[in-house]
A and B are shown apart, each in its own frame.
Chain A
Amino acid sequence: MSAGKIDPMEQFMVEPVLGRHIELFGYDVSFTNSALFMVVVFVVLAVFMAGGLKRQLIPGRWQVMAENAVSFIDSMVTVNIGSGGKKFAPYIFSLFFFILFANLIGVLPLAILPGLHTFAVTSHITVTAILAFLSFAIVLVVGFAKHGFKFFSLFVPHGAPGWLMPVIIPVEFVSFMVRPFSLALRLFVAMTAGHILLEVFGSFVVQGINAGGALGPVVSVLSFIMIVGVSALELLVCAIQAYVFALLTSLYLHDAVHLH
């Protein structure tokens, strides 16, 4: 990229926050901006839940919000996992709210205060892959613990004719093994694409101002309006992607618990 060009990929750089790398046995364990924003997400979530965990019989507003959050996850888990689903509610709750708050904090336009660029934790495949493989591991552990080797009957759908088995079983197996990758990829690309789009329109605003002339300010203003619109869409996408991640994890757990 030549000098003066705005690189849309630069916002995803993971850098140590304290200015220098910390090495431990040859591994880089420095406290990066990614780790910093994960801590921020945790603090925000902890404050949200701690503020709402009162026991008033007639709840105040914060308590209502926290109770709605818990009952939202509770209903999602009982509808999608069925009986025996309630024990997964804490995990699905943590998963959903971590991803939701991480997505939303990443979209916050705090950079109006110079230097305060928020970092989207879920815009890295490393983070989303860990979450997806954690969900997949829980599905496998639950499935094998509950059903033993009968878990493999998941790949043989009900009522399929016998001669179709050599075709169906590999297809079902591949689509099962693709699940963690698809979970990770969906969240990662949705967040990355949204942020690249916002950065590209932001670069149009800056370049329009720098260009001057007759059309420069017009381009800037139109791009700014697009940024507002895309940010609204990004808020929706953040919520939808968090919900889809938790919903699909619940469905995979339903498969593991009920074998269908």
Chain B
Amino acid sequence: MTDLGAMYIGAGLAAIGVGLAALGVGNVFGSFLEGALRNPGAADGQQGRLFIGFAASELLGLIAFVVAILILFVVK
């Protein structure tokens, strides 16, 4: 396997982490929606925490994306 081929495979593997982060973000929003449908009056008060949870899980997915970009464009 050539070095360039190994780099591309590595970047593809790093991009799998972004898909896993999608599961995490969906989990956060899904749990919020489930709770909000049971108790709609309390939903608006917790919207801030929803976005905090979204930011945390999204950040880890974006870190996986940055690893893929690093492998593709920064590694010589």
**Which A residues contact B (CB, under 8 angstroms)?**
9, 76, 79-80, 182, 185-186, 189-190, 193, 240, 243-244, 247-248, 251
Contacts and interface: CB of A to CB of B under 8 A. Distances in A.
B62 A243 contact: no
Interface residues of B, number: 12
A244 B65 contact: no
The B contact surface, by secondary structure, is helix
Contact of B62 (A76, A189, A247, A248): A189
Contact of B48 (A79, A182, A186): A79
A240 B48 contact: no
The A contact surface, by secondary structure, is helix
Contacts of B66: 185, 189
Contacts of A79: 48
A247 B54 CA distance: 12
Contacts of A76: 48
A248 B49 CA distance: 10
Interface of B: 48, 51-52, 54-55, 58-59, 62-63, 65-66, 73
A251 B48 CA distance: 10
A182 B54 CA distance: 13
B19 to A, nearest CB: 13
Given A9-B73, A248-B55, 18 more contacts: A79-B48, A80-B48, A182-B59, A185-B59, A185-B62, A186-B55, A186-B59, A186-B62, A189-B62, A189-B66, A190-B58, A240-B51, A240-B54, A244-B55, A247-B48, A247-B51, A247-B52, A248-B52
Contacts of B62: 185-186, 189-190, 193
